[in-house]
């Protein structure tokens, strides 16, 4: 891929971020993105097939699970590894306003781009589940259930924090609330891993 193409693609991805941050998801359109990036809208179709393809490319670039590439720990450090993994998921999603908006788009979309995102996450998730199962000596079905519950709770609460600031007495719009949630995740991980 040529440097000009890479630069143009990144300009378009940056334009998505800028438009959503400044004006909200509703401002996103082929013409608006192309104008913000200073390129022809035809390049969106050439490089990403459509606006949905461009949105999916943004998610692919910043999604925690798709891009997860941490080195696996030894058994002794597994608990810290799992806790750190979920803390990084929380941090990344809470800090990226655009990614939160695009996750909402993904939840209500059903197209080939969304399927490809989900397939990539699923493949990475199965790899992590298998690795944690081997290291913890817990069955894969159990690891998958625990990971799914924690991951889904994190995603839901991060998406909820702007519109519902309190959940079960935990302040989602305050760092102390997220510290409380992280401590809860730590407790769950420790209790689960202690069950042999």
Q: How confident is the model at residue 164 (pLDDT cuts 50, 70, 90)?
A: confident
- The answer, yes or no, to whether residue 169 has pLDDT greater than 70, is yes
Spacing of C-alpha 61 from chain mean position? 10
Whole-number Å distance between alpha carbons of 77 and 48? 41
Residue of higher predicted confidence among 2 and 116: 116
Whole-number Å distance between alpha carbons of 97 and 27? 15
The pLDDT, as a whole number, for residue 141 is: 97
Do residues 103 and 155 touch, judged by C-beta distance below 8 A? yes
Helix (H/G/I), strand (E/B), else coil: 49: coil
Contacts of 125 (CB under 8 A, 6+ apart): 65, 144, 147
- Residues 44-98 pLDDT 10s: 999 999 999 999 999 999 999 999 999 999 999 999 999 999 999 999 999 999 9
pTM summary value? 0.89
Q: How confident is the model at residue 2 (pLDDT cuts 50, 70, 90)?
A: low
- Residues 8-20 pLDDT 10s: 999 999 999 999 9
- The answer, yes or no, to whether residue 1 has pLDDT greater than 80, is no
Contacts of 5 (CB under 8 A, 6+ apart): 47
Whole-number Å distance between alpha carbons of 75 and 81? 10
Q: What residue spans of the chain are helical by DSSP H?
A: 3-23, 30-37, 42-48, 51-62, 78-95, 97-108, 112-136, 140-160, 175-194
């Amino acid at each position: 891929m040529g440097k000009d193409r890479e630069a143009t693609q990144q300009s378009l991805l940056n334009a998505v971020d800028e438009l959503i941050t400044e004006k909200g998801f509703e401002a996103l359109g082929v013409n608006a993105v192309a104008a913000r990036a200073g390129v022809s809208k035809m390049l969106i179709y050439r490089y990403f097939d459509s606006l949905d393809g461009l949105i999916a490319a943004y998610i692919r670039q910043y999604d925690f699970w798709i891009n997860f590439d941490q080195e696996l720990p030894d058994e002794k450090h597994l608990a810290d590894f799992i806790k750190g993994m979920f803390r990084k998921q929380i941090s990344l999603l809470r800090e990226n306003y655009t990614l939160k908006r695009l996750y909402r788009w993904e939840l209500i979309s059903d197209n080939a781009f969304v399927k490809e995102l989900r397939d990539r996450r699923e493949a990475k998730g199965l790899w992590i589940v298998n690795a944690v199962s081997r290291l913890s000596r817990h069955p894969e079905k159990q690891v998958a259930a625990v990971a799914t519950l924690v991951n889904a709770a994190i995603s839901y609460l991060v998406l909820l924090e702007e519109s519902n600031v309190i959940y079960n007495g935990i302040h989602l719009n305050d760092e102390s609330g997220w510290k409380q949630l992280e401590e809860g995740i730590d407790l769950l991980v420790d209790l689960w891993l202690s069950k042999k």
